[in-house]
Amino acid sequence: MPATDTPGASRSDAERNRRTLLDAAAQALAHNPGASMAQVAQAAGLTRATLYRHFSTRQKLLEAMRAEALERAGDAIAASRPSEGDPLEALRRAVDALAPTGVRFRALLAEGADQDPSFLGERAEVFAPLVETVRRGQEAGRVRADVPPAWVVTAMASLLVAGVRTAGAAAPDGPSVADLVFRTLTEGVATAD
């Protein structure tokens, strides 16, 4: 029996196809939020039948993308080491890590993920380590103590969403999305007198 006919190889192929489909969907929907399932399959170099075996509807595909976005955001936050070092530097590392993840999943914003209470609740759980970072910053006198830590993190997430939505409109030689988000979060928009 050839090695490709073994159950392990079939699972491996299925997982590779699923990964390829999610990558293609992120790319196709970033370029065209209205891309059809057929266009996603074509971008993946796979058949529509393969796509529908993994994701029976566009909604199922978007749900899988949403789950992946939250997982990647959680991984990015963990990799940014939010409990280490200066709290503002830790927040900067988190913003730097989260910005590219957000850009990859820009298509979910077109679908209204940032308006879905279920998604917002899941996002709050993923971003919870940053609430502790803000608390640490308040205790160290680096973050204003009169602002609830959860509000600071919600504001940061909202700025990231705004940055991702407008990433294509930014001047190529201007500040990055991460720079704009962090500077707006920490410095506001008023000029110093």
52 pLDDT higher than 80: yes
Percent of the chain whose pLDDT exceeds 70: 88
pLDDT at residue 8, rounded to an integer: 61
Pick the CATH number of 1-56 from 1.10.10, 1.20.120, 3.40.50, 1.10.340: 1.10.10
Contact between 51 and 21 under an 8 Å Cβ cutoff? The reply is: yes
pLDDT at residue 29, rounded to an integer: 85
Size (the chain), residues: 193
pLDDT at residue 184, rounded to an integer: 92
Q: Name residues whose C-beta falls within 8 Å of residue 130's C-beta, 6 or more positions apart in sequence.
A: 77, 82, 91, 94, 153, 156
Domain ranges of the chain: 1-56, 62-193
Q: Name residues whose C-beta falls within 8 Å of residue 34's C-beta, 6 or more positions apart in sequence.
A: none
Measured distance CA(37)–CA(25) in Å, rounded: 9
DSSP letter at 101 equals H
Whether domain 62-193 has CATH 3.40.50.720: no
pLDDT at residue 20, rounded to an integer: 93
Measured distance CA(102)–CA(126) in Å, rounded: 14
Q: Which of 177, 97, 139, 105 minimizes the C-alpha distance to 131?
A: 139
Averaged pLDDT for residues 83-107: 90
Q: How many helices (H) and strands (E) does the chain have?
A: 9, 0
